[in-house]
Amino acid sequence: MKFLRYGEKGSEKPGLVDTDGTLRDLSGIINDIAPETVASLPDKVKSLDLATLPTVDGKPRLGPCIARPGKFICIGLNYADHAAETGAEVPPEPVIFMKATSALTGPFDTVIKPRGSTKLDWEVELGIVIGKESRYVEEKDALSHIAGYCVINDVSERAFQLERHGTWDKGKGCDSFGPTGPWLVTPDEIEDPLTLSMWLTVNGHKYQDGSTRTMVYGPAFLISYLSRFMSLQPGDIISTGTPPGVGMGQKPPVYLNDGDVIELGIEGLGQQKQTVRDYDNL
């Protein structure tokens, strides 16, 4: 199943994509796709005749596919080929950092270049949304804790991240730095999350053309590993890292500016498109 949220920012409604591609409204079934509903949603919908659900006309704005996550956890340097392009070694354990939950935004919303930004970058990533409370999870059981997968653009300001001292978080959590969606795709639709092609273009030029096959630490390991250091709650997001082709890795580096258009997608999980705008040009 492909679940989504549609409507104006702050007033999104829950929906799903029918088998024939029709967008249908779920407002009569649940209030939102959120931490309190994400685990039970597939069972509630499974017994329904989808053709009886109201259709949604036109092309409404899509919001992030999960509302109000408690945590937005990210994994750094998790693709061997991406680590190589940045001159970094593959870490012996996953690198963990956090995006501010206020960075979360819709898959087609504007990416805002913040004041002082000089090195705004892109990263297509496989996202995981947790479906049930998770503590000290065994790796063999970890995939059963996933509510769904999604596309994430881990927008990054490299000067803030790497040149302003301290942790990476200040270059990762600015407003609009977490486009998520378009859909939350349930695990039954993804046969193997480690065989998905993924890509990203800027102004029509393909920079990222990779696969989850080169991921160092897969979804099951990451859930197990993270659950040793923090409990994972329904609705929490894990962004699992990016393949090569980021702007920082180009020779010379390429960074985003006002008016640039980013398009990205992952096999089976849909596509995103964002236009970059300077904060003072909004």
In a domain, 60, yes or no: no
Residues 180 and 255 in one domain: yes
Q: What is the pLDDT of residue 232?
A: 98
Residues 45 and 102 in one domain: no
Contact 74, 97 (CB under 8 A): yes
Residues 44 and 78 in one domain: no
pLDDT value at 152 more than 80 = yes
User: In what order do the strands lie in the sheet containing 184-185?
Assistant: 23-25, 13-17, 2-6, 184-185, 146-153, 124-130, 237-239, 72-76, 95-98
pTM of the model: 0.96
In a domain, 64, yes or no: no
Give mean pLDDT, residues 20-42: 95
In a domain, 59, yes or no: no
165 Cβ partners below 8 Å, 6+ apart?
A: none
Q: What are the structure tokens assigned to 136, written together?
A: 């000290």
> For the segment 42-88, what is each residue's pLDDT rounded down to a tens digit?
999 988 899 999 999 999 999 999 999 999 999 998 998 877 787 77
In a domain, 263, yes or no: yes
Residues 185 and 277 in one domain: yes
Instruction: Using pLDDT thresholds of 50, 70 and 90, give the confidence band for residue 217.
Output: very high
Owning domain of residue 18: 2-52
Domain count of the fold of the chain: 2
Residues 98 and 236 in one domain: yes
Percent of the chain topping pLDDT 70: 100
Residues 228 and 98 in one domain: yes
Give mean pLDDT, residues 198-221: 97
